[in-house]
Structure 1
Amino acid sequence: MKKLILDVDTGVDDAQAIMMALAASNVEILAITCTHGNTPLQNSLKNTLRVLKVCNRLDIKVYAGFEEPLLGHKISAGEFHGKDGLGDAPDAEAPGLELVQKTNAVEAIISITKQNPGQVTLVSTGPLTNLALSVKMDPCLPARLKDIYIMGGNIESRGNTTVCGEFNFLADPEAAYIVLERYTCPTTIASWEFSCRNSLPWSFCDTWLAQNTPKAHFMETIYAHTRKMVQTDRYQKEMVSGFGFNTCDAYAVAAAINDDVVLESEKVAVTVELEGKYTRGMMVLDYIDALDKEHKVNILKRMDLEVFKQLLMNALK
């Protein structure tokens, strides 16, 4: 069994990623920790509980992390995911926040990894605030992790929020910098450009949502707003290639839970730009060893889309 901690800012794509992990028979989710990002922290917590409820997995513990970046201004993706993060689709029977654990996310990450040394895969699909503060509180944390998977950053300076900034890294650049400096365990990154180049046809999305299950009905409802947004000309101009269904966060989860899904990757040292007027939050790839960093991360390049499609289909069964 792969033991996962999911660190999320639950919007629609996080919901898709969480449901993919929940459906995998070889995965045990030890905890879900929430942060700011797509939507304010309180919404992220509510949304995570909504996803767990529809999947009949409210037994999984949910922890509140931090509600703002280490420095700078808080941003959100309300226009993209809906103000509540899940398409502004009301749910009168949504679980209450009394189900959230009293322990905070940082304490939970530290404690769970101490209980499972060398066994935990940490998957981040939101801003990296919780992870940065965890390693500041416990510098030995990375040595206890099996590995870490991150959805975020960019590899060709293509931004989706600013000219050169990808949302998750731009939402807390200092946290992204700390994580890429301090987490020296095996690290895999699913970048913005990677997700674009491995997007799926909209015809698949139609088939995916047409499954006659409560999970599929839930996804169709919460995804309606985002789908309308991503099919606009403006959004398609942001995508690196093609006109397709791009479930960003699910790529990192797929790589974490299925060893057969990644077909091509490369190892390279990286850092994050913190000061540039146009490039703050941009991930920098060092192909000439100018940074003199021993630790190199695994940058995803190409995915087996048939395996990925099956993981998505399973998520809504």
Structure 2
Amino acid sequence: MTLKNFHFPLISDQVLLKYTRLQGGRSMTQKLLIIDTDCGIDDAQAIMVALAQPDVKVLGITCCFGNTTVDHVCQNVVRVLSVCRRNEIPVFKGSAGPLVGAFNALKDHFGTDGLGDVLKAEDPVGCKDQIKQDNAVTAMIRLVSENPGQVSLVALGPLTNLALAIRLDPAFPQKLKDLFIMGGNMEGKGNVSVCGEFNFVMDPESAYVVLEEYICPTYIATWEFTCRNKLPWDFFEKITDQDQAAAHFMKTITSKCWAFSREFGVNKRDVLFGQGFVPYDAYAVAACIDPSVVLESVECAVRVELQGALGRGMMALDPSNMLKKNHRVTIMKTCDLAKFVSDMFGTPG
């Protein structure tokens, strides 16, 4: 994989021009997306990747708690859209906590505000106008109902908004084209507990509801999958050293974040860690936009464990279908990194 020709998404005038031209005559052929996010640093990069694709139309971005409070998440999304000059995309405020219990934020990964605690505290310009009055859950149901069978839902945080959506509209999953999730695990290896991945552990009940009741085609980029497909640090430095607004933004929000340090994972024993940066949520976005970036996957029944001090929030795979479930999901295993980089980050014209 050569890195010298790649650039950060949505910062090229050529990309913006191509997007503008497509708005007039090809809207019917565009892939329609709703992004549900707990916008931290990796979510911000994933959103930028989605916005960089001229054949993708983001109908709206729904926000939930997770990396930070839902109010911070809304502000973070508005900041990303502003940097990308895409303020026309509506933002909706959703769940402030899990279905059961209280929300206890983890502040040691992406900072208190989710974007590295390096930005000014005040709301971004136009933030209040861009965050719509509709609740994220009702907005999600409305947008999908207006475009039945056409919308891909990409979930990058805890699945609370999705669980609430099916409670308000039991037919909601049937109206989706498909669902892409970044979260869960496939080997019982956790990052916030012994056996649990962050997004699922933040709201295990919602993860359980979604994976039991969403019968639409479902694709999951697990934590292990993303870690095993990490990118080299010199690539990260190349894309953030570009003299462009989005690159400056990404470099700023990662400047004091230990998760974007070359030392991150050096002392970890597990093969999942080690050198390289992991754009976790971008893998789910990439798989949604171009399924060919996923080289290998497994289709099987799954269930989220709700009990136990060690297992709560863990996603268990059931390839033999001992659970006798009719619905199976697709678990990503290997990624074409060269294609992932070229498709999602683009090459200059």
Superposition TM-score, scaled by structure 1 size: 0.95
1:212 aligns with 2:239: no
* SS of residue paired to 1:134: helix
Q: Measure how far apart 1:242 and its partner are.
A: 3.4
- Equivalent residue letter for 1:72: G
Alpha-carbon distance between aligned partners in 2 of 1:102 and 1:120, rounded to the nearest angstrom: 22
Map Cα deviations across residues 188-219 of structure 1 (whole Å, 9 max, x no partner): 00000000000011111111112211110000
Contact kept, 8 Å, 2:266 with 2:273, in 1: the verdict is no
Q: Measure how far apart 1:110 and its partner are.
A: 0.8
Contact kept, 8 Å, 2:110 with 2:259, in 1: the verdict is no
1:79-158 counterparts in 2 under 5 A? Answer: 79-91=108-120, 94-95=124-125, 96-158=127-189
Alpha-carbon distance between aligned partners in 2 of 1:316 and 1:168, rounded to the nearest angstrom: 35
- Equivalent residue letter for 1:137: L
Match of 2:303 among 267, 271, 277: 271
Contact kept, 8 Å, 2:265 with 2:274, in 1: the verdict is no
Question: Which deviates more from structure 2 when the two are superposed, residues 222-231 or residues 207-216?
Answer: 222-231
Q: Measure how far apart 1:234 and its partner are.
A: 7.1
Match of 1:307 among 298, 320, 339: 339
Task: From the superposition, tell whether residues 274 and 316 of structure 1 become closer, same or farther in structure 2 (CA, over 3 Å).
Answer: farther
Question: Which deviates more from structure 2 when the two are superposed, residues 302-311 or residues 230-239?
Answer: 230-239
Contact kept, 8 Å, 1:49 with 1:58, in 2: the verdict is yes
1:287 aligns with 2:319: yes
Q: Measure how far apart 1:78 and its partner are.
A: 2.0
Alpha-carbon distance between aligned partners in 2 of 1:316 and 1:224, rounded to the nearest angstrom: 26
- Equivalent residue letter for 2:289: I
Q: What's 2:84 paired with?
A: 55
Contact kept, 8 Å, 2:264 with 2:275, in 1: the verdict is no
Alpha-carbon distance between aligned partners in 2 of 1:86 and 1:277, rounded to the nearest angstrom: 30
Contact kept, 8 Å, 1:80 with 1:229, in 2: the verdict is no
Contact kept, 8 Å, 2:265 with 2:273, in 1: the verdict is no
Match of 1:68 among 97, 101, 116: 97
Task: From the superposition, tell whether residues 183 and 7 of structure 1 become closer, same or farther in structure 2 (CA, over 3 Å).
Answer: same
Task: From the superposition, tell whether residues 253 and 42 of structure 1 become closer, same or farther in structure 2 (CA, over 3 Å).
Answer: same
Alpha-carbon distance between aligned partners in 2 of 1:260 and 1:35, rounded to the nearest angstrom: 29
Map Cα deviations across residues 49-75 of structure 1 (whole Å, 9 max, x no partner): 000000000100000001000012313
Task: From the superposition, tell whether residues 50 and 296 of structure 1 become closer, same or farther in structure 2 (CA, over 3 Å).
Answer: same
* SS of residue paired to 1:80: coil
Task: From the superposition, tell whether residues 93 and 142 of structure 1 become closer, same or farther in structure 2 (CA, over 3 Å).
Answer: closer
Task: From the superposition, tell whether residues 111 and 235 of structure 1 become closer, same or farther in structure 2 (CA, over 3 Å).
Answer: farther
Alpha-carbon distance between aligned partners in 2 of 1:316 and 1:124, rounded to the nearest angstrom: 29
- Equivalent residue letter for 1:165: G
Match of 1:46 among 62, 75, 78: 75
Task: From the superposition, tell whether residues 238 and 4 of structure 1 become closer, same or farther in structure 2 (CA, over 3 Å).
Answer: farther
Structure 1 unaligned blocks of 5 or more: none
Q: Measure how far apart 1:46 and its partner are.
A: 0.2
Q: Measure how far apart 1:258 and its partner are.
A: 1.3
* SS of residue paired to 2:79: helix
Task: From the superposition, tell whether residues 93 and 132 of structure 1 become closer, same or farther in structure 2 (CA, over 3 Å).
Answer: closer
- Equivalent residue letter for 2:64: T
Q: Measure how far apart 1:312 and its partner are.
A: 4.5
Q: What's 1:2 paired with?
A: 31
Q: What's 1:296 paired with?
A: 328
Task: From the superposition, tell whether residues 102 and 239 of structure 1 become closer, same or farther in structure 2 (CA, over 3 Å).
Answer: farther
- Equivalent residue letter for 2:197: E
Alpha-carbon distance between aligned partners in 1 of 2:301 and 2:170, rounded to the nearest angstrom: 20
Alpha-carbon distance between aligned partners in 2 of 1:71 and 1:316, rounded to the nearest angstrom: 48
* SS of residue paired to 2:35: strand
Task: From the superposition, tell whether residues 238 and 82 of structure 1 become closer, same or farther in structure 2 (CA, over 3 Å).
Answer: farther
Alpha-carbon distance between aligned partners in 1 of 2:325 and 2:115, rounded to the nearest angstrom: 39
- Equivalent residue letter for 2:128: L
Contact kept, 8 Å, 1:120 with 1:146, in 2: the verdict is yes
* SS of residue paired to 1:212: coil
* SS of residue paired to 1:306: helix
- Equivalent residue letter for 2:105: S
1:146-295 counterparts in 2 under 5 A? Answer: 146-227=177-258, 231-233=263-265, 236-237=268-269, 240-295=272-327
* SS of residue paired to 2:167: helix
Alpha-carbon distance between aligned partners in 2 of 1:173 and 1:139, rounded to the nearest angstrom: 20
* SS of residue paired to 1:63: strand
Aligned residues: 317
Contact kept, 8 Å, 2:173 with 2:214, in 1: the verdict is yes
- Cα RMSD between the aligned structures? 1.9
Task: From the superposition, tell whether residues 238 and 68 of structure 1 become closer, same or farther in structure 2 (CA, over 3 Å).
Answer: farther
Contact kept, 8 Å, 1:81 with 1:225, in 2: the verdict is no
